[in-house]
Structure 1
Amino acid sequence: MPLIVFQTSRLLWVRLAALLFSCVAFSVAAHGAILPHGGMADWCIFCWVFSFTCTLLVLLVEQFGLQARAPVSWSNFPITVACYAALLSLSASIIFPVFFLKQQRPSGEVRDYRIVSTVFSCLAAVAYMGEVSLSKARPGEVAGYMATAPGLLKVCQTFVACIIFILISDPVLYDHHAALRWCMAVYCICFILSMAVVVLCIGEWTGLLPIPFSKFLSAYGLLAAIMYLTATIIWPVFQFGKNSYRTSYESKTITAAVFTALNFLLYLADLAYTARLVFVTV
């Protein structure tokens, strides 16, 4: 039986901590939190289970030395997973106490279980942020694209876009004016292109593009920033203007406007970083 030697490092300990915290969060919630089926409860459980499963996969591949056999770029995959896990754990750390502690106000053991899940979800988010910080590229270092600031911004852009989709799709908040449908088109087009960049980098398929990857990133970054600028202006104008169609879901439309502006800033920062980026290896 081969002897497996675990080489310790700060990154390994941070990953183990994130694995433990996410495991405790969903285990406690599933065991005694008595959560309703569907909705935000399922979302929080998904966040913790996804983070735990992907982290366990990364740990097993690295400890068994299987990186060369993995069908993905190992310079891009682990940090991409860590960044998504950090965002998912952070969202669960906000959503879970708001919906299942503040609004429902449980008592007894159920409340204790939910508090424990919230605490460990926060710890998992911090651990994953630590992993991203340890894994990201340093100035002058040759690294995978997803380990650079533009790569991490792509992850944030897709995550924010998913939040916008959730906010404006149930109920549908963009179908009463053509300008709002344009905003939806902006969200969809930019999300698809950002996710395509993530997939191309992880799969090491950037060479399949008909133009150099750096030129594609620059052109797409400029286009996406301009498109999101129009959506940032149009969405609030046609949702909250004098002739706007008033609904009972104004909190969702306001939140969507905020996240639209946030994604515009992310695309603007992405464009600025891409223009300065001089070390891209995929």
Structure 2
Amino acid sequence: MSWTVTITISWSSGLASKAIMGFFLRMGQLLSTCVSFSLGASLGIWEEGLGKWCMFIWCLCFATSLIISIVELCGLPSRLPCSWDGFLHAYSSYFIIICIVTSFIFGTSYIQVFSPGPAQSRAIIATAFSCVAALLYAIEMAWVCVRPGDMVCFVPTFPGVLRRLENHLAWVIFAFISNTDLYQHQPALVWCVAVYAICFILGAVNFLVNGCDCDNDKTLLLPVPCLLWVQTVLSVLLYATAVILWPLYQFHEKWGGQPQRSSDMSCSDQLTTFFCIWDQRLVVAILTAINLLVYVADMMYLILEAFVWIEAQRRDPGFFFSPAVSSSTSDVP
């Protein structure tokens, strides 16, 4: 009897510690993103493309943390078809990166613009709280791995690292194309923006499906290996068009581009942000090329994996029908 009581108390204290720690992490995330958003709004950065992107990210983080808090307070995680811990691990790993990127972009773009005084102090505080938000998301990702429960954290494999890198690079690209003056004047550049959005959505769906352990869900219309192939091949084809069209229409005079930085008036303005428009165009072009290489590496890995699978099946047709091997074909990024 005493052994049973001990187990019950330990299990209850484990649940209590999960709830208490989750509550404090969520409140910290809400507070830090709200402070960053409020201070950014007080600086009047709505007119700048990078400023709009920073404000959007802080709003997104605040709204997501608020929704997660409501779901947990209502006791809904146990009713979801996917792993709630897996979802928390996936979303927090995403938000770590975007908060760090936002902190860097906001800090380098706006702190040096304001002269020493209240405005610059607000910009510094907003950047600091954005960094605090990133730290809190990192703590949550680590806490999901060590807190009481059945969550088993993983070390991402090589293709898993590639798929995370694809999405993280897309977040940085979105930061620099938040200035609509970069592309709205040319349909070809609008197509490039659509490419970034489509590939990111496909990658996010794949990441969340794997991160939430939904790859074992029988209700999925497409199996995860098929989803990976469709996402990777389509992304390579789409990025191949963007890596040609973006530099062509941004830097070639024949197509209305500006080949030299000195020809951009915003770069000669001493009061402009750290990244002028020409710099933003160049960063997007470089990141597009890098992300294309990452997608190509991902596709080559899938092709190599397929050849290995075919060769192993030829030698032992019944090997890949075992449950253990079948579950390993859908790599969790």
Could you state the TM-score of these two structures normalised by the residue count of structure 1? Answer: 0.68
Distance 1:194 1:173, change over 3 A: same
Question: Whose Rg is larger?
Answer: 2
Q: What is aligned with 1:121?
A: 130
Q: 5 Å matches for 1:75-86?
A: 75-86=85-96
Matching of residue 236 in structure 1 with residue 274 in structure 2: no
Any idea what the Cα deviations from partners look like across 1:237-282, whole Å, max 9, x if unmatched? 4533464423434323212202212332443454467676926499
Asked if structure 1 preserves the Cα contact closer than 8 Å seen for 2:232 and 2:295, the reply is: yes
Q: CA deviation at 1:174?
A: 6.8
Secondary structure of the corresponding residue to residue 166 of structure 1: coil
Q: CA 1:216–1:35 in structure 2 vs 1: closer, same or farther (change >3 Å)?
A: same
Q: Give the direction of change, closer, same or farther, for the CA distance of 1:208–1:266 in structure 2 (3 Å limit).
A: farther
* CA–CA separation in structure 2 for the residues paired with 1:28 and 1:157: 23
1:138 to 2:147 alignment: no
User: Compared with structure 1, are the counterparts of its residues 151 and 127 closer, same or farther at alpha carbon in structure 2 (3 Å cutoff)?
Assistant: farther
User: Cα distance, 1:93 vs. partner?
Assistant: 0.8
Aligned residues: 268
The aligned residue for residue 121 of structure 2 is: 112
Deviates more, 1:121-130 or 1:42-51: 42-51
| Comparing 217-226 and 59-68, the one that deviates more | 59-68
Listed one character per residue, the Cα deviations across residues 181-212 of structure 1 (whole Å, up to 9, x for unaligned) are 66455335424433454576669597566543
Aligned partners of 1:134, 1:268: CA distance in 2, in Å? 34
Rate the CA distance shift 1:161–1:250 in 2: closer, same or farther, 3 A: closer
1:145 equivalent in structure 2: none
- Give the conservation status (yes or no) of the 8 Å contact 2:53–2:178: no
Relative to the length of structure 2, the TM-score reads: 0.60
Counterpart position of 2:46: 38
C-alpha displacement at 1:121, in angstroms?
Answer: 1.3
CA contact (8 A) 2:243 2:288 kept: yes
Confirm or deny that 1:162 pairs with 2:162: no
* In 1, Cα distance between equivalents of 2:231 and 2:142: 26
Query: Matched residues in 2 for 1:182 and 1:209: separation?
Result: 30
The answer to whether structure 1 residue 187 and structure 2 residue 187 are counterparts is no
Tell me the percent identity.
26
Deviations 1:162-197 (A, max 9, x none): 336425x32426727x6x566455335424433454
1:24 corresponds to: 32
With over 3 angstroms needed to count, the CA separation of the structure-2 counterparts of 1:228 and 1:63, relative to structure 1, is: same
Q: Which secondary structure state, in structure 1, belongs to the residue aligned with residue 281 of structure 2?
A: helix
Q: Secondary structure of 1:103's match?
A: coil
Contact 1:100 1:114 in 2 (8 A): yes
Name the counterpart of 2:105: 95
Cα pair distance change 1:154/1:239, threshold 3 Å = closer
Q: Distance in 2 between matches of 1:120 and 1:237?
A: 39
Give the Cα separation in 2 of the matches to 1:171 and 1:158.
16
Structure 2: gaps of 5 or more residues = 1-11, 146-152, 259-263, 265-276, 306-326
**How far apart, in 1, do the equivalents of 2:144 and 2:294 lie?**
20
